[in-house]
Structure 1
Amino acid sequence: MPWDLTLTDLPDLAWGAALLGTGGGGDPYLGKALAADSLAAAGGPVQFLDPEELPEDALVVTAAMMGAPTVVVEKLPNGKEAALALRALERHLGRPVTATMPAECGGMNSMVPLISAAQLGLPVVDADGMGRAFPELSMTTFGASGLPGSPMAIADEQGSVAVVDAGPDNRRLESLARALAVSMGASAWMALYPMSGADVRRTAVPRTVSTALELGRAVREARESHRDPFAALRETLPRTVYRHGTVVFSGKVVDVDRRTTDGFARGRAAIAADGTGSAEGACELVFQNENLLARIDGRTVAVVPDLVTVLHAESGQPVTTEALSFGQRVRVFVISAPDRLCTPEALAAFGPRAFGLDEDYRPATLVP
């Protein structure tokens, strides 16, 4: 059944999307602010469609921002880029878009389709192509299932727009789009992965937007009633495609090595135990825009595609990789990946070795 997302829903959605974004997917504050402006200007809610409600021959186009998160906090968008890219892709395809959809979860990228949908009067599909965030546009369940990301349109805040078609080669598309994004100032906005309603049902991770909204609402209500927000997360996740989640480490950030290269924010963070959790010693995080791996005392406890996220110890607010800093007291919260992220084809596209990690994927042990 279709449902409406209103202005009052945005804080909960931004929180839940940032959680599922695993440290990436863009700045949730900026994403929320841009979406709020677009919904206010539209004077009404944005309608969401369940994947099962899409006509077989619907034309669905995903929307996302591409680039280094560290850049976006300084190079602000004008808010029209996503709609500009979508209209350019429509012209190239020669037919109107039925609905838009997030390419990934994230504080910004879950909001991008809302922005263009509100501006263009389109519905949004309650699904995405990652169930989390990944740094490369080829790293999607769409691509792992054989769908091409091409043709795609890419736009920047100056009004520049380009259409790129790499045929079925999504790695080549990533390379070309990344070069364009870097030339556009290391961040740009895209419309890509045009697909049918049947393709959405076959390849997308379903109901991730409503899940993000539910998670954000659960944590907010827990805080308002002075209950443990981390317990609220653990209680809510089994009702979703993610199934399980738990705190694996609590401590203080003691070191962050972060650099922006080739359009990515890459690095490591070290967290020292503070004595409030069961873990001893130190936790190391490895990230490329998103958190990829968590080690405790040298032992890997979670690795992609499982979701490794960092939350403020007191507020439970997600901490993006560009916002990690010395002295923060945090909890590392791990969430099990949806089944669609764990197929052999998916692991080949975005498992540990796709990032150059010398690890095989083993699901994190989150249930006693």
Structure 2
Amino acid sequence: MRWLTEEDIEHIAVGATVLGTGGGGDPYIGKMMALSAIKKYGPVQVITLDELTDDQWVLPASGMGSPSVLVEKIPSFEQLEAPLKAFENACGRKTDVVMPIEIGGVNSLIPVAVAAMNNIPILDGDAMGRAFPEAQMVTFHLDGLKPELVTIGDEQGNVVTIQPADGYWSEKLSRNVTISMGGSSIVCDYGITGKQAKESVIPGTLSLAQEIGALLKEQRQAEVHPITQMVKKLNGYLLFKGKAMLIQRKIEGGFTRGESNFDGIDFFQGKGCKLHFQNEHLLAEVEGKPVAMAPDLIAVLDEETGMPITTEGLKYGARVAIVAFPANEKWRTDIGIKTAGPRYFKYPYDYIPLETLVKEQRAND
């Protein structure tokens, strides 16, 4: 067990935004929510999967909706608290541990705030190993678990409790409720036992986010760029370096959807790259050919500092490095690819692992 410091939260916010693949919310908002809650309610303890007992009750807490809307509607403490209390009342169990449902700038830190408010620990792990746009895109679903209870709250004090038939219905119903709530909400779902958590949760992702954030925020040495260090740490690849040119974004169906186009710089001069996103980056193409696709991770970083840029934060003229990392092995299974692969998002490709695509790209250069 360990206690989160202010510096830890700063680092988690940055590192989780890298792993959040452009989604998961604005890291500044997540950081300020967590720090404010700790200042008001007290420090938060982090525990590992090994420290869970089988009978403890673990509850994820997260934000749902368009990241663009969340920037305008920052959740209050009351909004963060209401879905957890509604979940406890409906299931008749007290929450022993909270956890992130995904790793993202806001959604890694909303559970920190909830943990502080309830004086309970947060679990060092999540159910994606990254951020995904839809509620069924979690390792719990891959392992056959159902979200038997979901609670959704907004800033007006409304709380809706649903009992969906499965993860897909959870997504459909929760998304429609969230749209009715103005495009963003706080959600508790997939309550599980410690035993189930040990089987399904991707371990250590909060610590990994913290390590990445620390790496990017350190004073870099001239000979080793932080992007190079981070890509090596995550067994990833540099896909492209370029200048952001045309960015098309719209809020549709409760998501921020669109694409970004980049003109190549340095070694990539004369080439073009296109990123497709639905809250998160899901497909990268260079010269019209895929170089990375979901469920593998795609991140956009500031070329100079290595700091991550979210899909709603990308601006025209930004000079960026586009990098990618292999997804957790759970996502490279048949059910993982069916759940969050390119065909699910209606892209015209069968899933090809990142390392294979990069090898093909380099062979053609």
TM range (shorter): over 0.9
8 Å CA contact 1:249, 1:331 repeated in 2 = yes
2:249 pairs with one of 239, 246, 258: 258
1:311 aligns with 2:301: yes
Counterpart of 2:256, as a letter, is A
Q: How does 1:154-193 map to 2 (within 5 A)?
A: 154-167=152-165, 169-193=166-190
- Give the Cα–Cα distance (whole angstroms) in 2 for the partners of residues 230 and 208 of structure 1: 19
In the superposition, the TM-score normalised over structure 2's length comes to: 0.94
- Give the Cα–Cα distance (whole angstroms) in 1 for the partners of residues 267 and 195 of structure 2: 46
* Identical columns (%): 38
Report the counterpart of residue 240 of structure 1 in structure 2: none
Secondary structure in 2 matching 1:37:
helix
Report the counterpart of residue 41 of structure 2 in structure 1: 42
- Give the Cα–Cα distance (whole angstroms) in 2 for the partners of residues 286 and 198 of structure 1: 37
* Superimposed CA distance per residue, residues 314-362 of structure 1 (whole angstroms, 9 cap, x where no aligned partner): 1211111111221111110111111122111111111111111121111
2:314 pairs with one of 324, 333, 343: 324
Provide closer, same or farther for how the CA distance between residues 22 and 279 of structure 1 changes in structure 2, counting only shifts above 3 A. farther
Report the counterpart of residue 281 of structure 1 in structure 2: 271
1:92 pairs with one of 87, 90, 93: 90
Shift of 1:310: 0.4
1:10 aligns with 2:35: no
- Give the Cα–Cα distance (whole angstroms) in 2 for the partners of residues 221 and 73 of structure 1: 27
In the superposition, the TM-score normalised over structure 1's length comes to: 0.94
Secondary structure in 2 matching 1:80:
helix
Shift of 1:108: 0.4
Moved over 6 A (4+): none
8 Å CA contact 1:23, 1:320 repeated in 2 = yes
- Give the Cα–Cα distance (whole angstroms) in 2 for the partners of residues 12 and 85 of structure 1: 27
Counterpart of 1:190, as a letter, is V
Secondary structure in 1 matching 2:257:
strand
Shift of 1:79: 3.2
* Superimposed CA distance per residue, residues 35-83 of structure 1 (whole angstroms, 9 cap, x where no aligned partner): 1100111232x11111122111211111110001111111222233222
1:272 aligns with 2:263: yes
- Give the Cα–Cα distance (whole angstroms) in 2 for the partners of residues 282 and 328 of structure 1: 15
8 Å CA contact 1:218, 1:236 repeated in 2 = no
- Give the Cα–Cα distance (whole angstroms) in 1 for the partners of residues 223 and 9 of structure 2: 22
8 Å CA contact 2:231, 2:238 repeated in 1 = no
Counterpart of 1:93, as a letter, is C
Counterpart of 1:113, as a letter, is P
* Superimposed CA distance per residue, residues 180-202 of structure 1 (whole angstroms, 9 cap, x where no aligned partner): 10111100001110111111111
- Give the Cα–Cα distance (whole angstroms) in 1 for the partners of residues 198 and 254 of structure 2: 31
- Give the Cα–Cα distance (whole angstroms) in 2 for the partners of residues 42 and 76 of structure 1: 19
Counterpart of 1:160, as a letter, is N
1:354 aligns with 2:344: yes
Secondary structure in 2 matching 1:48:
strand
Shift of 1:225: 7.7
* Superimposed CA distance per residue, residues 129-174 of structure 1 (whole angstroms, 9 cap, x where no aligned partner): 111111111111111111112301111112111111113x111111
* Superimposed CA distance per residue, residues 220-256 of structure 1 (whole angstroms, 9 cap, x where no aligned partner): 225378841112203432xxxxxx1122100100101
- Give the Cα–Cα distance (whole angstroms) in 2 for the partners of residues 352 and 235 of structure 1: 25
8 Å CA contact 1:145, 1:345 repeated in 2 = no
- Give the Cα–Cα distance (whole angstroms) in 2 for the partners of residues 150 and 81 of structure 1: 22
Secondary structure in 2 matching 1:356:
coil
Counterpart of 2:10, as a letter, is P
- Give the Cα–Cα distance (whole angstroms) in 2 for the partners of residues 12 and 132 of structure 1: 16
8 Å CA contact 2:216, 2:305 repeated in 1 = no
Report the counterpart of residue 70 of structure 2 in structure 1: 72
Provide closer, same or farther for how the CA distance between residues 252 and 225 of structure 1 changes in structure 2, counting only shifts above 3 A. closer
- Give the Cα–Cα distance (whole angstroms) in 1 for the partners of residues 204 and 267 of structure 2: 32
Report the counterpart of residue 280 of structure 2 in structure 1: 290
- Give the Cα–Cα distance (whole angstroms) in 1 for the partners of residues 325 and 189 of structure 2: 28
Report the counterpart of residue 25 of structure 1 in structure 2: 24
Counterpart of 1:202, as a letter, is E
8 Å CA contact 1:7, 1:40 repeated in 2 = no
8 Å CA contact 1:104, 1:130 repeated in 2 = yes
- Give the Cα–Cα distance (whole angstroms) in 2 for the partners of residues 226 and 364 of structure 1: 27
Answer with 292-301 or 154-163: which moved more: 154-163
Secondary structure in 2 matching 1:146:
coil
Q: CA RMSD in A?
A: 1.6
* Superimposed CA distance per residue, residues 297-319 of structure 1 (whole angstroms, 9 cap, x where no aligned partner): 11101000110010111121111
Secondary structure in 2 matching 1:291:
strand
Gaps of 5+ in 1: 238-243
